[in-house]
Amino acid sequence: VGITALHANVESRLRFETLLADLSTRFINLPAEEMDREIEDGQRRVCEALRFDMSAFWQWTDSHPRIFTITHLYRPGGGPPAPERPDAQNLFPWSLQQLMDGRTVPFLMEDPPPAAVVDQASYLRFGIRSSLTIPLSAGGGALMGALSFNARRAVQAWPSTLVDRLRLVAQIFANALARKSSDMRLRESEAALRRSREQFALAMEGSDDGLWDWEIATNRVYYSPRWKEMLGYADDELPNAFATWEDRLHPEDQERALAAMKSYLAAPRSTFELECRLRHKDGRYRWILTRGRASCDAQGRPIRMTGSNRDITGRKQVEAQLRKSQAQLASAVDLAELALYEEGQGERFTVQDNRIHDLLGLVPGQQEGIRAHWVNHIHPDDRDRMVDISGRVRTGGLDRIASEYRYLHPRRGPIWITHLVHVLERDSDGRVVRTVGVLQDITPRKQAEIDTLRLRQDLSHASRVTTLGEMVSAFAHEIKQPLGAILSNAEAADLLLRADPPDLAQTLEILADIRRDDERAGEIIQRIRGFLRKRDAERVPLDANDLVRDVVRLVQNDAALREVALQTELAPDLPRLRGDRVQLQQVLVNLVINAMDAMAEVPVGKRNLVLQTARTGTGGAEVAVADSGTGIPADRLPRLFEPFYSTKPNGLGMGLPISRTIVEAHNGRIATENNPGGGATFRILFPPDGGTPP
């Protein structure tokens, strides 16, 4: 592996890795509303970084779940007008089938697949000469969308290294999409629940009643002021006559109301009750609930009737709305696949459908032993926690819980459940009488979270951002050839000299070869040094703080994954230094990764890494990497920068020596010390003149 060739594409790769780490960090915990903007921004940044002409983001249409269409199009150069809602089934049927089968689809106009005639025509129409489309799915699930990158001017080939990078980008988008859809569903159902709760509260508000007293013989009726007020009148505005009521009945209700009254009076028993509309002073009708009771003479004939009126217009409206919102709620519950139940005393479960039975793997319609079944199937690692919470709900203290736990479904295997319990009623001893609960299967969302974590692990391979690592191993490989030869030759000479008679002629040959290999090893070392110095010409003015910020972006994923708290303390107004940005970045990345390795044994919460900049006593810039790890044993300090000296099980022992060579080539030096409170600090000190080459 040639070291120079290795360095050739390093800068573009680092740029891409930074972009990838950036995108991944940005999409984690992004609110759903901001997702669309970030997707477009991501498309733009990838296109700019890799010089694509356009990028399309495809998704299933919300209103037509069978139509796959473009939702985000990045096309700065313009082009032939795209249809409003392009349908992949019509325009790119072959590609769509490939995507549905989970395949990434490369397309080159020069070499189109024979089965892709329609697709080819569409690409021609939109002036695309080369395209790569990647399916988006979370955890290998159903196709959620697709991300394509296209070239219009030049032919873009799709080597596997490029495809692999773009797949990582696509994976970030796919995870974001999966989270967005599950967030949205959850929010819709929450909103529907809230609406219906408010309306219930409204309905419960009491209103005072208006009273009436009717003397049947005279047909005189006393109406209380409140009765009249209900219809918008002052006390003196309405005559106390039966007709006052009768005339104000809604034409549609009139017949029914009078008939009800007549039939009650014919055989007055218990209470009269009627719901009807009465005309308000403003001309609109109000819904009124009338209740009354007749008193009779000795013969049982009704002589008078008294009662109350209640305005139930609000309730009627609420009822209508409630019916509507209940329907909405039901569909939200359906959409979010929520399983609802009510639990009464003695483990009596009330459910509306069999969804909870499906979710918990019960026998359809099962009534008994639900709680025991549930407890038995909770994942053993989560069971104690859930039993404890459940106990606290039952015996007081906790009125509302929301938990997520793993559940071993008898048929489907392990799933993730989110479970809300709300206590409705307790008895005087504080024991639970009634609770309602909601369960939801959140396995897909959890899967997406796990995928995101795994993705971050993929992204975090430190080796991908350290060319130093690669340089080190390339260098180690080269230098080991002469070293190996020298060792084998020396041992062969040893055997030949012990032989009887000793083979002196061959031993002399061997000594000559050993000398030659020693020179070769020296040349390799010179070449590395020369390579590091050769880049002197590329020195540019640098700000140490920018350098630290670049490094933080490269390692933030790694730090999050290793649960290391990464902190920067940047001094303002630092003197500039001159140097090779990539080389110095590599030195810092190497120091940071060493520091994180040193904290692997330290408990989580005590892993602190500080990147610090400061002005040195002599007026130069200083960058320090301080960790809270195990520190460096005193006897190892002097050997730290020796080649092939490593304290790591798989270390090559070349990182620090090369780092030192780079820093010294910048006229700087590296200092090491143990911190008084534990851990170690590595300082890179640059001279005040900004590191003029020697």
Give the span between the Cα atoms of 430 and 625, in whole angstroms: 57
Closest to 620 (Cα-Cα) out of 690, 674, 676: 690
Instruction: Determine contact, residues 211/261, Cβ cutoff 8 Å.
Output: no
- Selected binder of another protein within 499, 512, 540, 600 (CB under 8 A): 499
Minimum distance from residue 590 beta carbon to another protein (Å): 19
471 binds another protein (CB under 8 A): no
- Whether omega for the bond prior to residue 444 falls within 30 degrees of 0, making it cis, is no
Token pair 């005072």: residue: 208
How far is Cα 452 from Cα 176, in angstroms, rounded to an integer?
9
| Of positions 489, 590, 594, 613, contacts another protein by CB under 8 A | 489
- CA–CA separation, 220 and 162 (whole Å): 94
Residue 480 binding another protein, by CB under 8 A:
yes
* Part in contact with another protein (CB under 8 A); list of ranges 94-102, 114-122, 476-484, 681-689: 476-484
Rounded to the nearest whole angstrom, what is the least distance from the CB of residue 495 to another protein in the complex?
Answer: 4
State the nearest-atom distance from the C-beta of 488 to another protein, in Å: 4
Contact between 570 and another protein per CB under 8 A: no
Contact between 408 and another protein per CB under 8 A = no
In whole angstroms, the minimum distance from the beta carbon of 657 to another protein comes to: 17
Residue selected from 473, 608, 616, 630 as contacting another protein according to rule CB under 8 A: 473
Nearer to another protein, 336 or 479 (CB): 479
Residue 293 within binding range of another protein, rule CB under 8 A: no
Of the chain, the end-to-end C-alpha distance in Å amounts to 30
How many Cα atoms within 13 Å fall on the side-chain side of residue 443?
A: 14
- Tokens for 356? 């909870």
Count of residues in the chain:
694
- Residue 481 sits in the site that holds another protein (CB under 8 A): yes
Identity of the residue, 469 or 679, whose beta carbon is nearer to another protein in the bound complex: 469
Cross-strand pairs, 342: 350, 436
Query: 598 and 630 in contact (C-beta within 8 Å)?
Result: yes
Smallest gap from Cβ 10 to another protein, in A, equals: 19
CA separation for the pair 452, 591 (Å, rounded): 27
Is the Cβ–Cβ distance between 272 and 290 less than 8 Å?
yes
What amino acid occupies position 686? F
Task: Give the residue with the Cβ less far from another protein, 504 or 571.
Answer: 504
Pattern 646-675, another protein, x by CB under 8 A: ----x-------------------------
Window 597-656: residues binding another protein (CB under 8 A): 650
Q: Which of 517, 558, 580, 627 binds another protein (CB under 8 A)?
A: 517
Of the candidate spans 346-354, 358-366, 470-478, 604-612, the one that interacts with another protein by CB under 8 A turns out to be 470-478
Q: Is-contact 493 511, C-beta < 8 A? A: yes
- Kindly state whether residue 485 participates in binding another protein, applying the rule CB under 8 A: yes
By CB under 8 A, tell whether 693 contacts another protein.
no
Beta-carbon contacts of 566 under 8 Å, excluding residues fewer than 6 positions away, are 552, 555, 556, 559, 609, 611
Task: Kindly list the strands in the beta sheet with 348-351, ordered across the sheet, starting from the edge strand earlier in the chain.
Answer: 348-351, 338-344, 432-441, 413-426, 400-409
Cβ-based nearer residue to another protein, 36 or 491: 491
Stretch that binds another protein, among 128-136, 295-303, 513-521, 566-574 (CB under 8 A): 513-521
Q: Which of 516, 534, 636, 648 binds another protein (CB under 8 A)?
A: 516
25-to-45, 561, 566, 567, 686 alpha-carbon distances in Å: 15, 12, 14, 16, 32
**Residue from 215, 513, 536, 673 binding another protein (CB under 8 A):** 513
| Piece of the chain touching another protein by CB under 8 A; list 269-277, 281-289, 342-350, 489-497 | 489-497
Number of chain positions touching another protein (CB under 8 A): 27
Which of 162, 216, 241, 483 is in the footprint of another protein by CB under 8 A?
483
Q: Are 461 and 562 in contact (CB under 8 A)?
A: no
| Euclidean distance between CA atoms 22 and 449, whole angstroms | 18
Q: Of the two residues 296 and 499, which places its CB atom closer to another protein in the complex?
A: 499
Contact with another protein (CB under 8 A): which of 54, 421, 459, 486? 486
Q: Is the peptide bond before 482 cis (omega within 30 degrees of 0)?
A: no
Choose, by CB under 8 A, the member of 408, 492, 525, 565 that binds another protein.
492
Residue 32 has which token pair?
Answer: 């759903």
Closest CA to 294 of 397, 373, 213: 213
If one asks whether residue 506 binds another protein (CB under 8 A), the answer comes out as yes
- Interface residue with another protein among 8, 115, 157, 487 (CB under 8 A) is 487
Q: Does 39 bind another protein (CB under 8 A)?
A: no
Beta bridge partner(s), residue 105: 133
Residue 158 C-beta-side C-alpha neighbours within 13 Å: 22
Minimal distance, residue 466 CB to another protein, in Å:
15
Helix (H) or strand (E) holding 54: strand 54-60
Interface contacts to another protein, rule CB under 8 A = 473, 476-478, 480-489, 491-492, 494-496, 499, 506, 510, 513, 516-517, 520, 650
